[in-house]
Structure 1
Amino acid sequence: MRLPSWLSQHLAALRALLVLTVVTGLAYPLFLVAVGRLPGLDGKAGGSLVTVDGKRVGSSLIGQSFTDADGNADPRYFQSRPSAAGDGYDPTATSAGNLGPESVVDTLADNPGDASQSLLTQVCARSLAVGKLEGVDGSRPYCTTDGVGAVLAVFHRDGLTGPVTRVVSVNQTGTPFVATYGGVPVEPATIGQDYQALGGVVTPVRGDAPAHPVVPADAVTASASGLDPDISPAYAALQVPRIARERGLTAQQVRELIAGHTDDRALGFLGEPGVNVLELNLALDGNR
C-alpha cells in the first residue's frame, strides 16, 4: 500500500528530526563532555579553576579584586585592571562600559544614583588613585588635579566663532581647574544644565601632564569583557616597590616572580604579553 505523499513527507521529516536530535542533542554533547574529561583537558573544561588546599580561590581565566575588609586595594597584593562587568569581574554580567573617546562630559546630579561619570573622568580618577597607591605621579593629559575630566564649555559670540563670551567647567561644581580661558573667568557647572544644548563648545584642556603618563593604560581602563585576568608587564612593574615593601622582599625577587607568571604573545606575534594576577598573588603567598 502506497502512502499519500503528504504523509510520507511528514514521516521523513519526523525521522530526520529524531536522527538529528539523537546526533546533535545527545551524541555530540556527550562526546564533547567525554573529550573534556581527558587528562590535560579536564581542568580547562571545568573553567580553569584554581584551588589552594582543596579550596577554590578563583579561575585563571577570570580576573578578581584583591581588597581588604573595607573594600580598599590590599597593598600586599598585585592589583588587577578595572572591570565593568556587573559589580566587577562578574561572569554572568560580562560587558564593557560602552563609552568611547568622545565621552568627556559627566552627568551631574544631586542624587548620586542619577549622576554618571564620563570615560575621561573615570580614567582620571583611576589614574589618581593608582598614583596614590603606588606613590607615583598619577596625572594624565586632560585631567584635573582632583581627578575629573578637564573640560570646558566655551561660548562664542557668533556661535562657533568670534570672541569668547562665557566659559564653564562642565565637570566641576566647585572651584574650576582654571581661573580664566580666553580672557574670560571660568564658571563652575550648575547641576542639571546641558551646556552643549545651550551652545557651548566642548573643549578638553590638555594641561601640563606628561605626554606619557606613569600609570599604564590598562591600570585605568577596563577590558571589553570586564573579566581580563591579566595585566601588562608595565603595570606589574609599577607595583613592584609597593609589593616588595609590604612583603619584606627585594625588588629583584618580586621581578623574578613576575617573570615566572608572564605569558608571551600568542603564537609569538599575536597580542601583547600578560601577567596573570591571581597566579602571581598566589605565588606571593607561597602557594605557587
Structure 2
Amino acid sequence: MFNPIWVRRHLAALRALLVLTVLCGVAYPLAVYAVAQVPGLRHRADGSTVSLHGRTVGSALIGQSFTGRDGAPLRRYFQSRPSEAGGGYDPTATAASNLGPEDTVDTLPAPRPTTGPGAEPPPADGGGRQSLLTRVCSRSKAVGDLEGVSGARPFCTPGGVGAVLAVFGKRTPDGTVPHPTRVVSLNEEQGMVKAPFLATYKGVPVEPARFGEDYADGLVVPIRGGAPADPVVPADAVTAGGSGLDPHISPAYAALQVRRVAAARGVAEDRVRRLVEDGTDGRDLGFMGEPRVNVLELNIVLDRRYPVRA
C-alpha cells in the first residue's frame, strides 16, 4: 500500500515522539529516582529535612532565620549568615546583592515627619538604598551590640554606616584635593545624626549630607578610621553568601555567639562550646572548602540537650 510522503513523515514524527516520551519522560526520571535512593544519597535527595519532636523544622541544606516576631534575633539560638535571597533564605529567589567592593555611597532616604500632623513610621528598609559598605557596617554594629563586643570595622563609622567623605576643591593632576573648600559625610544624613563621625578633614569642618543634594563633583574619600585590621566580628557575620541559602557559619562566628547562647539557656559556656566543636564539619575530602558549622543542626541539638524553660 502506497502512503503519501506527508503521511510517512507524520508517522516518523509520531514514532520519534513516542520513543522520546518513553526515554525522557519515563525511563530517565525513574533512573534518576533509583540512583537517588542509593544509601548515602537518599537523605539529600529527599531534601535533607531535619525534625524536632516529630515535626519538620527545616532543611540542613538551606539556611533560615532565628528571630522573633519583631525580627529581633532570639538570644537562645545561634544566628545564621545574612541572606539577600528574597526576604531572606527564600529558595524561590536565591540571589546575592550583586553589589561590588566600590559600592560605598548610600542613596539617602527622603525625610519623613515622625511627630505631629502627617507623622508616619519610617519604612522597614529605612528608605533609600544602602551601599554594600553600609550594609557591612550596620551588620557589624548589630552583631557587636548583640554579642557585647566591639563591632568596629575599617571604613565604618561608630553609628554603623560607611565612613565616606565627598571632598570639594581644586584637584591636582594625581586626582587629590590638597586644599578642600567643603567636606560632606555622604552616608550620614542631616537630622539623623547629632554630628558627623569626623569633625574636620584637613582643617575643613565636615557636614552631614542633605537629601536631594548632588555631591557628584566631590572626590569620594573613604576614611579607614582606627578600627583593627582584624575585626572581632567575622566576615561571614556581615556578608551574605552568593546563593543567599548558606546553612553554615564559620567556627569563629559560632564561637562569638557561645557566651550569649549559654547565658540565655542557663548552662555553662564550656558545654555549649563543646557542642559547637562536635558540630563543626571539616574540609571536604580534607582539603576543599573551610571548616563550618550547620546552624540549624546545632540549634536542634541545643533544644534537645538544654531546652529553654518557659
TM-score class, shorter:
over 0.9
How far did 1:232 drift?
0.2
Paired letter, 2:153:
R
Take 1:206 and 1:26, find their aligned partners in 2: how far apart are those partners?
A: 61
How far did 1:17 drift?
2.2
Cα 1:54/1:161, change in 2 over 3 Å: closer
- Ranges in structure 1 where 5+ consecutive residues have no aligned partner: none
The answer on whether the counterparts of 1:52 and 1:287 sit within 8 Å (CA) in structure 2 is no
User: How many pairs were matched up?
Assistant: 286
Paired letter, 2:276:
I
How far did 1:103 drift?
0.9
Paired letter, 1:183:
G
> Aligned match of 1:124 in 137, 147, 161?
137
| Partner residue in 1 for 2:102 | 102
How far did 1:106 drift?
0.5
CA offsets, 1:13-48, max 9 Å, x none?
A: 332222111101122112322333455433221211
Take 2:162 and 2:171, find their aligned partners in 1: how far apart are those partners?
A: 26
CA offsets, 1:215-234, max 9 Å, x none?
A: 00000011011111000001
Take 1:287 and 1:8, find their aligned partners in 2: how far apart are those partners?
A: 71
Take 1:260 and 1:194, find their aligned partners in 2: how far apart are those partners?
A: 54
| Partner residue in 2 for 1:136 | 149
How far did 1:287 drift?
6.3
| Partner residue in 2 for 1:166 | 182
CA offsets, 1:259-286, max 9 Å, x none?
A: 2111111111111111000010111111
- The 5-angstrom pairing of residues 79-118 of structure 1 reads 79-110=79-110, 112=123, 114-118=127-131
Paired letter, 2:304:
G
| Partner residue in 2 for 1:245 | 263
Take 1:46 and 1:72, find their aligned partners in 2: how far apart are those partners?
A: 31
Take 2:274 and 2:140, find their aligned partners in 1: how far apart are those partners?
A: 26
The worse-fitting range, judged by mean Cα deviation, of 200-209 and 7-16 is 7-16
Take 1:275 and 1:265, find their aligned partners in 2: how far apart are those partners?
A: 11
| Partner residue in 1 for 2:62 | 62
Take 1:192 and 1:205, find their aligned partners in 2: how far apart are those partners?
A: 23
How far did 1:247 drift?
2.0
Take 1:52 and 1:286, find their aligned partners in 2: how far apart are those partners?
A: 8
| Partner residue in 2 for 1:149 | 162
Take 2:134 and 2:287, find their aligned partners in 1: how far apart are those partners?
A: 33
How far did 1:244 drift?
2.0
Take 2:213 and 2:11, find their aligned partners in 1: how far apart are those partners?
A: 68
How far did 1:5 drift?
4.9
Is residue 195 of structure 1 aligned with residue 237 of structure 2?
Answer: no
Take 1:144 and 1:235, find their aligned partners in 2: how far apart are those partners?
A: 22
Take 2:152 and 2:171, find their aligned partners in 1: how far apart are those partners?
A: 35
Secondary structure (helix, strand or coil) at the match of 2:181 reads strand
Take 1:131 and 1:61, find their aligned partners in 2: how far apart are those partners?
A: 27
Cα 1:287/1:9, change in 2 over 3 Å: farther
Secondary structure (helix, strand or coil) at the match of 2:304 reads coil
Take 2:176 and 2:276, find their aligned partners in 1: how far apart are those partners?
A: 53
How far did 1:10 drift?
4.1
Take 1:40 and 1:274, find their aligned partners in 2: how far apart are those partners?
A: 20
Take 1:266 and 1:38, find their aligned partners in 2: how far apart are those partners?
A: 21
The answer on whether the counterparts of 1:109 and 1:192 sit within 8 Å (CA) in structure 2 is no
